[in-house]
Chain A
């Protein structure tokens, strides 16, 4: 599903070279639930964004389903994100003027692609525990509900891969457990998940846990 080799990312900060990712090799098989833990600033988010084609590596190669991301055009990379990848960010990122349902179907609105099953978005909202909230504006939803809408939005195109960046940050423990249970359920239905977090207590939900440290990715001892 994912094949990363020799991944390097270099930032220049005040004339100084920073290497948050320094020669990472990584593979992920279809159906895995991989949790990447690490301290803030360790490069987890940068790694996740490179996997999703949201930023380019300084060197190295990333393949998603056999497509080498660095060689795709903007349109091809956007199509890959639309069809194959669902993103869940630390912030819900819902558009305030749109209802929960409209936010879930946002990818279709913005790309102009007609959804194959228009009723699926509503079904997803029910699946993430938000029945009856389809027509509610984000301003009237709680933090946990916003996160659930964002998860439904990531799932709406039936992606084979979910990239989640600190999806339980800012949530209380109870809501955090509910959201993680939802991710585990999504994974059990066949969707591959790569999640980054600083919270090692989420490790039991994943099939494999890795640690980002000093620009390298290593297996995490549970």
Chain B
């Protein structure tokens, strides 16, 4: 039966090819939205996992810059008083607090690349902990840097920032977030670099004494991170907190318009295609009515005719769905960075689980649309009296 259906599909390449493309468009529209949401959400989770932080404390007036650094890696420099670290550590529920200094490099000759420099205190830092834990043979030493995945530079090579030479000690795995375009270095090296920049760089950088940019926090009980974040806001003046949930909801908000457009495209494609596909199924059944009558004469039951007609459209829709997923995956992966910049959200390849679920859901929905479009035609064809079916087409 399947062989009969597939041969019948192949026999009408133009019509069925057009149908497959229609279904592919529907599947691609449905899948792309899920891909973007899952990719962005996973990206944020990966970044937070990489940073190892449950809460990020930023200066209240630089909240947006902090988000931009974390989500999109837009280089930025901002500071607040390092005394904040002590205040934050005293808040109930805080297990660990690690200060970081954010320094944006200049688009000039000062540096090897336009990046975000993130200065850490290795004795307190847990932000690139997972990576460093895997590379214990290579602790971050004096004048050493660790590059984000998108940055160019071989391990062991030398890069210059504000005239100061740094040895590339390692490279992080991709996250699809700001971490990928960041350079990690020790805070004391950053301060030496800043001091030297007055003499060595066209645009000197200043890191004010006693200032830091953000405080990354690990809470004692991750389930209570929201309450701890509230307590920090209540007890520490001049700060805003960024939580994983907040970042994910920010990404969701930024993606909302894009998702709506994709959902609308899927809806329009479905609404336009469904009647057309239904009409094509009616035409296909009509032109094959004599064949259907002959098959009934050969012993096919009504149910078999129903499966034959609906099965053809289900297989076409399935093929279209798979094609749509394959093409949209290739396009989304090829233009991942472009989409990320255009939509303004971090984007990574979603985890295998959510990717498979999204792909299966899109294929099933598309196949369902094919089944619905052919359902009534298949019922009508199956119920047509064989004699009437055989004589159809006769004048």
B91 to chain A, nearest CB (A): 71
Question: Given A54-B385, A112-B1, A112-B304, are A89 and B299 neighbors across the interface (CB < 8 Å)?
Answer: no
Tell which of A49, A56, A82, A91 touches B299, judged by Cβ atoms closer than 8 Å: A82
- Nearest residue (CB) in B for A163 is B297
B15: chain A residues at CB < 8 Å are: none
Question: Given A78-B296, A81-B297, A81-B298, are A110 and B1 neighbors across the interface (CB < 8 Å)?
Answer: yes
B300: chain A residues at CB < 8 Å are: 78, 110-111
Question: Given A96-B11, A97-B11, are A110 and B298 neighbors across the interface (CB < 8 Å)?
Answer: yes
Instruction: Establish whether residues B390 and A54, one from each chain, have CB atoms under 8 Å apart when the complex forms.
Output: yes
- Name which of B10, B290, B390 has the most chain A CB atoms within 10 A of its CB: B390
With A and B bound together, what is the CA distance between A102 and B301 in angstroms? Answer: 19
Instruction: Establish whether residues A75 and B11, one from each chain, have CB atoms under 8 Å apart when the complex forms.
Output: no
A56: chain B residues at CB < 8 Å are: 385
Whether a CB of chain B sits under 8 angstroms from the CB of A58 is no
B212 to chain A, nearest CB (A): 73
- Nearest residue (CB) in A for B302 is A74
Instruction: Establish whether residues B295 and A97, one from each chain, have CB atoms under 8 Å apart when the complex forms.
Output: no
Q: B1-22 toward A: CB 8 Å interface, digit per residue (1/0)?
A: 1011001101100000000000
Instruction: Establish whether residues A153 and B298, one from each chain, have CB atoms under 8 Å apart when the complex forms.
Output: yes
A87: chain B residues at CB < 8 Å are: 294, 297-298
Whether a CB of chain A sits under 8 angstroms from the CB of B308 is yes
Question: Given A89-B294, A91-B290, A112-B1, are A79 and B390 neighbors across the interface (CB < 8 Å)?
Answer: no
Whether a CB of chain A sits under 8 angstroms from the CB of B371 is no
Whether a CB of chain B sits under 8 angstroms from the CB of A95 is yes
Question: Given A49-B387, A52-B297, are A109 and B290 neighbors across the interface (CB < 8 Å)?
Answer: no
Residues B289-325 near A (CB distance < 8 A): 290-291, 293-304, 308
Whether a CB of chain B sits under 8 angstroms from the CB of A200 is no
Whether a CB of chain B sits under 8 angstroms from the CB of A199 is no
Q: B369-391 toward A: CB 8 Å interface, digit per residue (1/0)?
A: 00000000000000001111010
Whether a CB of chain B sits under 8 angstroms from the CB of A182 is no
Whether a CB of chain B sits under 8 angstroms from the CB of A106 is yes
B221 to chain A, nearest CB (A): 60
Whether a CB of chain B sits under 8 angstroms from the CB of A107 is yes
A53 to chain B, nearest CB (A): 8
B304: chain A residues at CB < 8 Å are: 78, 110-112
Whether a CB of chain B sits under 8 angstroms from the CB of A98 is yes
A-B contact count (CB 8 A): 81
Residues of B in contact, count (CB < 8 Å): 27
User: Which size bracket describes the interface of A in this complex?
Assistant: 20 to 34
With A and B bound together, what is the CA distance between A78 and B305 in angstroms? Answer: 12
B4: chain A residues at CB < 8 Å are: 95, 98, 106, 109-110
Instruction: Establish whether residues A97 and B10, one from each chain, have CB atoms under 8 Å apart when the complex forms.
Output: yes
Whether a CB of chain B sits under 8 angstroms from the CB of A204 is no
- Name which of B3, B294, B300, B308 has the most chain A CB atoms within 10 A of its CB: B294
A75: chain B residues at CB < 8 Å are: 301, 303
With A and B bound together, what is the CA distance between A96 and B302 in angstroms? Answer: 22
B298: chain A residues at CB < 8 Å are: 81-82, 87, 106-107, 110-111, 153
- Nearest residue (CB) in B for A75 is B301
A115: chain B residues at CB < 8 Å are: none
Residues B1-53 near A (CB distance < 8 A): 1, 3-4, 7-8, 10-11
With A and B bound together, what is the CA distance between A55 and B296 in angstroms? Answer: 11
With A and B bound together, what is the CA distance between A56 and B299 in angstroms? Answer: 16
A83: chain B residues at CB < 8 Å are: 299
Instruction: Establish whether residues B387 and A54, one from each chain, have CB atoms under 8 Å apart when the complex forms.
Output: yes
Whether a CB of chain B sits under 8 angstroms from the CB of A93 is yes
With A and B bound together, what is the CA distance between A13 and B387 in angstroms? Answer: 17
B236 to chain A, nearest CB (A): 74
Instruction: Establish whether residues A106 and B297, one from each chain, have CB atoms under 8 Å apart when the complex forms.
Output: no
A116 to chain B, nearest CB (A): 15
Q: B116-127 toward A: CB 8 Å interface, digit per residue (1/0)?
A: 000000000000
A50 to chain B, nearest CB (A): 8
- Nearest residue (CB) in A for B300 is A110
A55: chain B residues at CB < 8 Å are: 385-388
A49: chain B residues at CB < 8 Å are: 386-387, 390
Instruction: Establish whether residues A111 and B387, one from each chain, have CB atoms under 8 Å apart when the complex forms.
Output: no
B245 to chain A, nearest CB (A): 54
With A and B bound together, what is the CA distance between A101 and B390 in angstroms? Answer: 22
- Name which of B10, B299, B386 has the most chain A CB atoms within 10 A of its CB: B299
Question: Given A74-B302, A75-B301, are A110 and B386 neighbors across the interface (CB < 8 Å)?
Answer: no
Instruction: Establish whether residues B296 and A54, one from each chain, have CB atoms under 8 Å apart when the complex forms.
Output: yes
A48 to chain B, nearest CB (A): 10
- Nearest residue (CB) in A for B297 is A87
- Nearest residue (CB) in A for B12 is A97
B290: chain A residues at CB < 8 Å are: 91, 93
B385: chain A residues at CB < 8 Å are: 54-56
Tell which of B295, B301, B390 touches A106, judged by Cβ atoms closer than 8 Å: B295
Residues A20-50 near B (CB distance < 8 A): 46, 49
With A and B bound together, what is the CA distance between A157 and B300 in angstroms? Answer: 14
With A and B bound together, what is the CA distance between A107 and B388 in angstroms? Answer: 20
11 contacts between A and B (CB under 8 A): A52-B297, A54-B387, A55-B385, A55-B386, A78-B300, A93-B290, A95-B4, A102-B7, A106-B295, A110-B295, A110-B298
Q: A-contacting residues of B (Cβ < 8 Å)? A: 1, 3-4, 7-8, 10-11, 290-291, 293-304, 308, 385-388, 390
Q: B-contacting residues of A (Cβ < 8 Å)? A: 46, 49, 52, 54-56, 74-75, 78-79, 81-83, 87, 89, 91, 93, 95-98, 102, 106-107, 109-112, 153, 157
Q: Please name the 7 residue pairs, one residue from A and one from B, whose CB atoms are nearest each other, closest first.
A: A82-B299, A55-B387, A97-B11, A54-B386, A107-B298, A97-B7, A93-B294
